[in-house]
Amino acid sequence: MLSEALTAATGGLDPAAAEEALTKAIKAIAKQMAALEGKDYAAMPADQVARAVAHTTKAGDVLFRLLEFARGHPDSRPDMGADWLRGLTDEQLRTVQRWVEEREQKEGA
């Protein structure tokens, strides 16, 4: 019953299944990182090296944030929230408000 309550409280996400999936993902990332570490990049075209670096960086960032979350630390990414609205001029803010109203009207129709 507790498992069902947790699943319901998390919007249908089964915590045990999520934990198992994350464990598998971490193991997969570790294998991929080991394969990348042994790769000779000198023979690769520059665009492929750039893609490998981008993917490696992204995987490392995701893994680091996951570990920090598991340790109980907050997300290290800046919270952009609605703070960006303060940088808008009055005219720009009115435009955004109009877009929101138009979207709400379309969704309401």
Global pTM exceeds 0.75: no
User: Mean pLDDT lowest for which of 1-5, 15-19, 53-57, 61-65?
Assistant: 1-5
What pLDDT sits at residue 68? 80
Determine the pLDDT at residue 79: 64
The pLDDT score that the predictor gives to residue 8 is: 64
Q: What region, left, alpha or beta, does residue 32 occupy, with left being phi > 0 and alpha being psi -120 to 50 degrees?
A: alpha
Would you state the pLDDT for residue 67? 78
For the chain, the structural domain boundaries read 2-77, 79-109
pLDDT (tens digit, 9 = 90+) per residue, 26-70?
A: 888 888 888 888 888 888 899 988 988 888 888 888 888 877 877
Query: Helix axis angle, 2-9 relative to 15-37, nearest 10°?
Result: 70
